[in-house]
Structure 1
Amino acid sequence: MYRVWNFLTNYSLLLIIGAIIALIWANTNPSSYHHFVEFVIWDHAPIGHYHDGHRTLTLHYLVNDLLMAFFFAIAAKEVWEAVILKNGSLRGKKAATPLFATAGGMFGPIAVYLGLAAMLGSDTYSAVANGWAIPTATDIAFSYLIGRLVFGAGHPAVRFLLLLAIADDAVGLIILAVFYPSGELAPEWLLVSLAAAIAVYVLFNWLPRRLDRGKEARPNSTWVRNKLSFLPYLLAGCVSWYGFMRSGIHPALGLLFIVPTIPHADRAFGIFSEAEQYLTDLLNTIEHWLKHPVEIVLFLFGLLNAGVEFSSIGDATWLVLAGLLIGKPVGILLFGWVAARPLGLGLPQGMRIIDLVVIGFVAAIGFTVSLFVASVAFDAGPVQDAAKMGALFSFAAALVAIIAGKITRVQKQDI
């Protein structure tokens, strides 16, 4: 499992370090921390937050809106391969029950979050309602790690969890795009992004292959790969990102149109599969090139977003935690049972219905995406800080999952 350990120790470990530094800094010298977060790089810039008739590029905008686009591009790459390629993990009947469970892992947290918010009164509900998507997230790397610890690497529940997490990422990208615009919507600008994607695909992917038909040496495709490499896709990505920014859709999703245009392998080996390290198609090569830059981006993301004062704990904190720790396992159990039993789709051999509860607790580790959604769901202030604290506290789900595994007598399968 080379890729999961590589991903966790490099990407997620740096993210945690950044988050810890932010928490210490914000609780010891909050004024200097917030001054650092909102540091102005370029006033009256062509990109950045729009206010008073001009744009301002701050450090926070640079990381959250521009550089995080590379992180979401990697997530989109895994989702794309799982859906479109031969042997993709989200294709066919094998993915049916995990997809149903994913729906439960979305609707359950939303119902708990909004239901409890309504019980707290109309004022509280109005203040926190826009954060309904925060507890729907699943941090794929950390959840996979805890899943391995609870079930063992060879247990079918681990693969089930992985399918659920990939599908969760896919739905999460859609939620971000549809429900959390970054400004006033101008959807006509998406045509710019779409045009960039079509142009780069036709000129640098489809046309060279078309010209190479019947030529074993593939001279045109080889020339494009060797001489131009990723540059056409980088330029198209810049245009696409700008189109997303001007459209009002969160620009961190600005590379989503470009990912499917890049030449890719003809089959998927599965996320975290060891075989992935040997693939030399351009899409996987670009992912490998992005490894170190994204490590730094995630460190900066944790540093710039996790700095909340412990005094900020409030209603949104407990609502996010309740959505994750109650809504996730209940939703996954209910929808997973319906798919497996009444609908007859079944579970993987060696997996029990009760294992869905444990999977639900493992999937309740929201962290990265929950933190990101909290930063876009609310304006900077006490409600946003309280919601972020709930995302950070979601690590408690790891301990709950381990205890649930013991109570339900999970039989670990290490091979």
Structure 2
Amino acid sequence: MSGHEKPRGLFRKLVDNSFLLIVGALAALVWANMAHQSGSHSYHDFVHFDVTSLWSGGSDHHQVDATLVSSAGEDSDVEQVAQHGFSLHFIVNDILMALFFAIAAKEVWESLLPGGSLHEPRKAATPLLATVGGILGPAGVFMLGAYFTGTTIDLGNGWAVPCATDIAFSYLVARIVFGAGHPAIAFLLLLAIADDAAGLMILALFYPQAPIVPQWLCLTLVAMCGAMLLRRQKVHSHWAYLLGPGAICWFSFYQANIHPALGLVPIIPLLPHAHTDLGIFAREELDRHDTLSEFEHCWKLPVECFLGLFGLINAGVVMSSLGTGTWLVLAGLFIGKPLGITGMTYFAEKGLKLEKPAGMDYRHVVTLGAVAAIGFTVALFVSVAAFTVPGPIQDSVKMGALLSFAAAPIAIVMGRALGIVPVQPAADIESTEASTAAA
């Protein structure tokens, strides 16, 4: 993400831009559909493979699990344990993805620091209101669609799926549409960061894995106090915070039935960090060596690999799964996002007398709303959190999250149709002019 960065090879650039996630998702789609056509359960068996069976006797273990589930009933604690055990699905979605959300929380936290995009309320007010529109619009369109199709009972819990915006992919598409020097890029990044913060709260508040057990959150406070103590003792290594307070906090979330993938989030602001923010994707960040920055430097590449596994574990949907859930998610993203973002931006400007960034008009705002409709990573995660039982409903909603990639070509075509010209950064223009003059 940062400074005077050494030139990277093409593969590393692809990896840093979530290429592995795409590969994992495509591999899952191919595998699941081939298995479906041949009548095989190989993909399902892989996803739900219990790794403890490697040393505890696999077949007996699975037979015991099946017996426990059938005799205990769907809502029992035994069913929950038997369902995931220590499956690959549980390891990836509940443990490894905690590091993904920790890095997302780092970006949100740093954006609140001096120099960060959320630090100055007046500067951030319009994009923040646009973020609210980017949540209410998709949720409203989704729920209206569910009401008119008579699927509110079955699909209503998925209202938050189309609220997500994938920062990495949206950023890449926005650079194609607007150019790296356009103010719409900063607007989108601020909106996406705020959307991440809202997404973390939505997951915690609206998608507990079972009724919340609040007493376990006392252990979260203990973990946070432990992190503050380490910081007071000037402990620098992020490993001390991760393996100590981080592990305790994750366990407390798991026991409290708050999604454990959020388990590291409360610890992130307590790691020693710089007192200013250079901005998301700022190259100079690689030159920083505070604990929080070193945490990201250490885990950025592994997390990209974990995202590849996340795609492989979660994106295995057969093409016949297209259904009402798919169209509701896509309607929320492709219609609700642009409408919500544009509507709230208009309200901010005309109703509250706030300002859009200089150089942006409503052609840019509408197109930016289309770019923000790429939900993918977080939308896929929320799909699994909202519909915990595998089956046609979950698969149809997942398909909507996967097909949100279609927002990319739609946004590019929309930008061209509206006459939006990509803008180069001033530094790049000066460099080009200097090269031309020298030639």
1:167 aligns with 2:194: yes
Provide the C-alpha distance between the structure 2 equivalents of 1:151 and 1:402, rounded to a whole number of angstroms: 9
What does residue 98 of structure 2 align with?
A: 69
Q: How far is the alpha carbon of 1:79 from its aligned partner?
A: 0.2
Return the match for 1:106 from 126, 130, 135. 135
CA pair 229-407 structure 1, distance change in 2 beyond 3 A? closer
1:192 aligns with 2:192: no
CA contact (8 A) 2:250 2:260 kept: yes
Return the match for 2:27 from 21, 41, 44. 21
Provide the C-alpha distance between the structure 1 equivalents of 2:159 and 2:28, rounded to a whole number of angstroms: 25
Q: How far is the alpha carbon of 1:7 from its aligned partner?
A: 7.3
1:143 aligns with 2:149: no
The percent of aligned pairs where both chains have the same amino acid is 51
Q: How does 1:10-159 map to 2 (within 5 A)?
A: 10=16, 12-30=18-36, 31-42=41-52, 50-52=77-79, 54=81, 56-83=85-112, 85-92=113-120, 93-121=122-150, 124-159=151-186
What does residue 320 of structure 2 align with?
A: 311
Q: Secondary structure, in 3 states, of the residue corresponding to 2:18?
A: helix
What does residue 216 of structure 1 align with?
A: none
CA contact (8 A) 2:15 2:304 kept: no
Provide the C-alpha distance between the structure 2 equivalents of 1:53 and 1:354, rounded to a whole number of angstroms: 49
CA contact (8 A) 2:24 2:312 kept: yes
Query: What amino acid sits opposite 1:28 in the alignment?
Result: M
1:329 aligns with 2:327: no
Moved over 6 A (4+): 3-7
1:339 aligns with 2:348: yes
TM-score, scaled to structure 2: 0.86
CA contact (8 A) 2:238 2:294 kept: no
CA pair 138-8 structure 1, distance change in 2 beyond 3 A? farther
Q: How does 1:387-406 map to 2 (within 5 A)?
A: 387-406=397-416
What does residue 362 of structure 1 align with?
A: 371
Q: How far is the alpha carbon of 1:406 from its aligned partner?
A: 1.3
Q: How far is the alpha carbon of 1:411 from its aligned partner?
A: 2.4
CA contact (8 A) 2:32 2:318 kept: yes
Provide the C-alpha distance between the structure 2 equivalents of 1:53 and 1:166, rounded to a whole number of angstroms: 33
CA pair 158-52 structure 1, distance change in 2 beyond 3 A? closer
CA pair 285-345 structure 1, distance change in 2 beyond 3 A? same
Q: Secondary structure, in 3 states, of the residue corresponding to 2:354?
A: coil
CA pair 229-238 structure 1, distance change in 2 beyond 3 A? closer
1:259-308 residue CA offsets vs partner (Å, 9 max, x unmatched): 01100011000000111111110100011111232122111100000000
Query: What amino acid sits opposite 1:367 in the alignment?
Result: F
Query: What amino acid sits opposite 2:166 in the alignment?
Result: D
Q: How far is the alpha carbon of 1:342 from its aligned partner?
A: 2.4
CA pair 344-53 structure 1, distance change in 2 beyond 3 A? closer
Q: How far is the alpha carbon of 1:200 from its aligned partner?
A: 1.9
CA pair 62-337 structure 1, distance change in 2 beyond 3 A? same
What does residue 408 of structure 1 align with?
A: 418
Aligned residues: 391
TM-score, scaled to structure 1: 0.90
What does residue 211 of structure 1 align with?
A: none
CA contact (8 A) 2:129 2:345 kept: yes
Provide the C-alpha distance between the structure 2 equivalents of 1:164 and 1:53, rounded to a whole number of angstroms: 36
CA RMSD in angstroms comes to: 2.0
What does residue 287 of structure 1 align with?
A: 296
Query: What amino acid sits opposite 1:71 in the alignment?
Result: F
CA pair 383-54 structure 1, distance change in 2 beyond 3 A? closer
CA pair 275-35 structure 1, distance change in 2 beyond 3 A? same
Q: How far is the alpha carbon of 1:36 from its aligned partner?
A: 0.4
CA pair 57-236 structure 1, distance change in 2 beyond 3 A? same
1:91-149 residue CA offsets vs partner (Å, 9 max, x unmatched): 2111110000000000000110000110012xx22110000000000000000010010
